[in-house]
Amino acid sequence: MDVSDFLEKAKRIHGDRYEYPNIVTKNDIKINNASEGLKYEINTDDISIEVTGKENELIGLDITDFTIIVDVTDLEAGEHQVKLNVSSTKEFAAIKLSTETVNIIIK
């Protein structure tokens, strides 16, 4: 992404701080601690990640810069609301998801 693409999508919030939206699909969410023999289906619409930081921190940002995880430890078959956890190898002022949980169906 070049600077013009960034400035088209980003929103200046204060001084040199911007919010930049990214879209996460259910295929981008990793499932940790899944039990063998069970099938896991994440049932959610796309989730947006808003990242706040300086322009030079956000230019070139890609969804692969983030890890979005749900932990299904000790969950049995059925439908569950599971907390999302997001992390990044890059430093930002803030990372915010449009939702805190996703619905997971375990069979």
pLDDT mean values, one per 10 residues, the chain (107 residues): 64 74 88 96 90 81 88 97 93 88 97
Quick one: pLDDT at residue 102? 96
pTM above 0.75, yes or no: yes
* Residue 77 buriedness (CB in 10 A; 0-12 / 13-18 / 19+): exposed
Are 92 and 53 within 8 A, CB to CB?
Answer: yes
Q: Dump strand ranges (E) for 1-107.
A: 11-14, 17-24, 29-32, 40-43, 47-54, 66-71, 78-88, 94-97, 101-106
Residue 11: per-residue pLDDT: 76
Query: Tell me, what's the pLDDT at 101?
Result: 96
Compute and round to an integer the Cα radius of gyration of the chain: 16
Instruction: Please tell me the distance from the alpha carbon of residue 50 to that of residue 86, in angstroms, as a whole number.
Output: 11
